[in-house]
Structure 1
């Protein structure tokens, strides 16, 4: 083992060591300090006693024979710090001049003063240590197990401290000089990399025998399950990218590996599993939507069965939808409302009873409600001027119900909401209009609607309740006698003038009502009926209405046409031509015109 201090000593001269760094003391070379022969005479040596005559006096250029060899280190040098109490900073830096002499206080060849105090000077040796640690000596980690490495591009071919390569390696490999470094263990080198990850540490090196193009090709064929000996020229193809010859089958250029043949049964099973997953996702999604938003649930198709539902007056689309849900016609309101909002005709849905089917889609239910044939009702139109008896017959005929149902309901006037001013008489208070009679509408319900409608019209015209029976009675006479709406005001004026004069009204319509007849003529026997409705016998108005007048007749009574007429007669019933007269003579002439029409129309 070579001495480290001897190999690496500087030729420029020794430097005093700082502390015990493990370096040797520089050699003493006497030749460096011998006086050259050409130096002669001079002054005495500085600091030397001149009385010393043991040697000749030096000349001017003589070099003093002082001790310039290795000096003994001062005591303060080994402390390595300027903070020692016995050796203050001035002691370490005594390179100045003494106060009593103009000479330096230290020898010129003395060691250089230490560096200024720094961070490292603050560090002291451990107090608990017995002494200095042994000097570091490079030793082999595993003696006798050198690590050989191939030379590459003029780099060291062997490890530091290892043996050189064997002679059978390549010619360009060479050995470096062996040094006393630790040998590395081939199996534990990764653990001594200082925590750094070494690039390529996990890459397995390919065996030397498999390197090269032929080795890679052989390995690739083996990976593909192909014996290279079985390949012929037809099964090979030249790869332009790598410049290699590779097998056509089963090699796949996209993946660089052999393709496996798939089992058809496995493919079919995979497709079945995939289809099941898709169906499950769809059904599960529908169930999830129904749970999150129940309003989105909907049936499919046109439904089946038969059920009747009622749409109330004033129902909104949502109200109708809830009615359909309650009857299980649709699954939820949402799809029905969505379909209705897309169809402008949905605002035309009328109140009534509709024939529907069970479990219909929202759109199908909307289309059914918009179909007029689906509405289950009988629409009854009652014209003005019909009596109660004829009104009941008309309703029974239009609805297909027995007339007895309506006659029994008409007899119970208290259940119909008849007002007290009607004096228990239903005549005149079944207001003429068009009514929808639904399957579940009772006779009482229908007649009550007619009474309520008449009361509403009277109140709308501003007629006081005390006058309503009189107004209705006059309006029934005007409705029966006038041939047109234009003549109603004149007929109402005739009634007012005759009543004002105290004259009998002498109206054939009242006589026929008393006799239960129709028409516009009467016989002497008819006019002999003592009924209070016989206006030939009793002056003034009859006790009540003789029919159910309309709104036009009521308005005519409230505002009669101004005039002095006392008489009127219809001269042509076919056209409704009515003649009004103020005197009896004018009236007789008009009556003759009516008789002429009777002669021409004997059937009346």
Structure 2
């Protein structure tokens, strides 16, 4: 194509010379309305001298033939499902007839506004125009160009065949009569073009290919199917997205609730753990109300006492009580036992009540030295309000009382004389067990068993001697001498002549014995029987036990009460003894017949 600056007027056409015109040059010519003259040798444009109507008819017939051919090709392609190769429909029908050269003045381009809808180019021509398809070997644009995708569209022919598809109009087409509708359309188009100044309009006409597709290539059936699949996938993803978005508020609410539960659990658990590690020192106020009994066990610490008070609801927590007790040195004097307390007291008030002398609830029982089992049971019954029958039954079951292994199964002599505090609800067996345990503890402290063996006596024999010593004198200083007399008489085979044993055997008081009692035949009458009585006759105290283990040395064989204070006269001479006994009788001290 010649340089645009050398072109004649818009209505003129120039011969382009040898060869075809590139697609770019063709598009430029179409937009400017200036087309190069087409020679007869090219045989691609309208024949010179043909009217506009003739050219239009020829174009329409050619277009109809092309469309029929395209439909046939499309049907063939659809039948072959395995053929995935997209084909482009022919850009134009092959030129079969040479047409006369265009008029010398060139072909006048019809403005876009004057073209009818039916005059727009077919989609099949767009790729060839855009991609710059080359002319046929004949030098024209009538050769078959690249094929269009197999999607069928209704092509719209344009007015200017040279600018449209480059198809060659046959002589028969040019000679066909022009339909009235077309003539009317041409008249309307000419009139419309005249109103706009024909080709002199300043704005260049829009290219029909761009009007039809916007510059995009036409997509075939396979591409359409692929696009459909993509669309369905996109719609499915969009549906899932909408569902997820619909579920999103519920998920957020549930997540918040779970998070709140976790946080709440952590807070509550932390408070519980902190309370366990660092308990709050709660405390009641005031002196409390009501009554409750609390037992303090032997060996309890202040903290243990505090826990006992908490369990009984005397105090709220151990902290205030322990703090108050540690600040008061007198708290170390809290004794084991049962205490009468009040409910819901402050820690300080509870401590004060424990230290009060009348708060402890117990039955204090004192068992004097020399008491027999019968006397002990009577004293326990009186002091603890325990039925005597229950105490006697417990005393008879010696196997449950914890007697030493060297005992003969008799309880006499093993109820150690001392002062006992028995808490409420202490059973008779528990009372007797405690007294036997006290005896075991005391005798163990003086090594009683081994020392008895050292003097050639059994522990039970020594205990029996100690019980007689306990009954014969009230003066501790005289006990070793009484012990000497007993051992000397036993050694010489002289009856002991201790009236206390006879009274025990008869169940009488020694001062109530008669001459007949002293001559009676009972196992405990040491006037007419040699040796020791069958059992101890009382519960000896520590001085008597010690005296039985370590008597004084000498040859004493006799003793008699000398005064009202309980002092005795000791001698180894029978005459001295008889004289002293007469003095005792004269004084009314209760000395019996010799």
TM-score, normalised by the number of residues in structure 1: 0.50
CA distance in 2, matches of 1:288, 1:598: 82
Which of 553, 559, 580 is matched with 1:562 structurally? 553
Aligned to 1:451: 436
| SS in structure 1 at match of 2:535 | coil
Query: What's the offset of the Cα at 1:522?
Result: 2.9
Q: Which residue of 1 aligns with 2:349?
A: 364
Shift of 1:325: 1.1
Max Rg structure: 2
1-side partners of 2:274 and 2:443: how far apart? 56
State the match for 1:479 in structure 2: 470
Shift of 1:567: 0.6
Matches of residues 80-91 of structure 1 in structure 2 within 5 Å? none
1:579 aligned partner: 569
Structure 1 Cα separation of the partners of residues 557 and 276 of structure 2: 81
Query: Relative contact order, CA 8 A, sep 6+: which one is greater?
Result: 2
Q: Secondary structure at the match of 1:296?
A: coil
8 A contact 1:509–1:520 mirrored in 2: no
Q: Does 1:422 align with 2:407?
A: yes
Could you say what secondary structure the match of 2:292 adopts?
Answer: strand
User: Which residue of structure 2 aligns with residue 592 of structure 1?
Assistant: 582
Does structure 1 retain, via aligned residues, the 8 Å contact 2:386–2:428?
Answer: no
Corresponding residue for residue 441 of structure 1: 426
Alignment partners' CA distance in 1, 2:289 and 2:473: 55
Displacement of 1:327: 1.4
Preserved CA contact (<8 Å) 2:296 2:335: yes
Q: CA deviation at 1:521?
A: 6.0
Which of 375, 388, 413 is the matching residue for 1:403? 388
- The alignment partner of 2:562 has SS state of strand
RMSD: 2.3
Q: Structure 2: 5+ residue runs without aligned partners?
A: 1-270
2:290 to 305, 308, 316: 305
User: How far apart are residue 295 of structure 1 and its match?
Assistant: 4.6
Deviation at 1:405, TM superposition (A): 2.1
Deviation at 1:290, TM superposition (A): 6.4
- Cα distance in 2 for partners of 1:599, 1:425 equals 34
Distance in 2, Cα, partners of 1:305 & 1:287 = 32
**How far apart, CA to CA, are the structure 1 residues paired with 2:276 and 2:532?**
73
TM-score (norm 2): 0.51
Cα distance in 2 for residues equivalent to 1:373 and 1:292: 38
Equivalence for 1:200: none
2:585 and 2:591 in contact (8 A); partners too: no
1:502 and 2:498 are equivalent in the alignment = no
Please identify runs of 4+ aligned residues in structure 1 that moved more than 3 A: 286-293, 599-602
Q: CA deviation at 1:326?
A: 1.3
| Unmatched runs of 5 consecutive residues or more in structure 1 | 1-285
**1:332 aligns to what?**
317
Shift of 1:291: 7.8
Cα contact 2:298–2:336 (8 A) shared by 1:
yes
Change (3 A) 1:295 1:460: farther
Pair 1:367–1:287, CA change in 2 (3 A): farther
2:584·2:590 contact (CA, 8 Å) conserved in 1? Answer: no
Helix, strand or coil at the partner of 1:594: helix
The CA deviation at 1:529 is: 2.5
- Give the Cα–Cα distance (whole angstroms) in 2 for the partners of residues 291 and 559 of structure 1: 61
3-state SS of paired residue (1:356): strand
Aligned to 1:330, what secondary structure does the other structure show? coil
Partner of 1:468: 459
Pairing partner for 2:379 from 394, 398, 401: 394
Question: What per-residue deviation string (whole Å, max 9, x for no partner) do you get for residues 504-540 of structure 1?
Answer: 0011101111110013463221123322111012101
Residue 421 of structure 1 deviates from its aligned partner by: 2.0
Q: Are the equivalent residues in 2 in contact too, given 1:290–1:296 (CA < 8 A)?
A: no
Distance 2:540 2:474 in 1: 14
Contact 2:561 2:591 in 1 (8 A): no
Structure 2 CA distance for partners of 1:595 and 1:534, relative to 1, 3 Å = same
Contact 1:498 1:566 in 2 (8 A): yes
1:488–1:599 CA distance, 2 compared to 1 (3 A): closer
Name which of 548, 551, 555 aligns with 2:539. 548
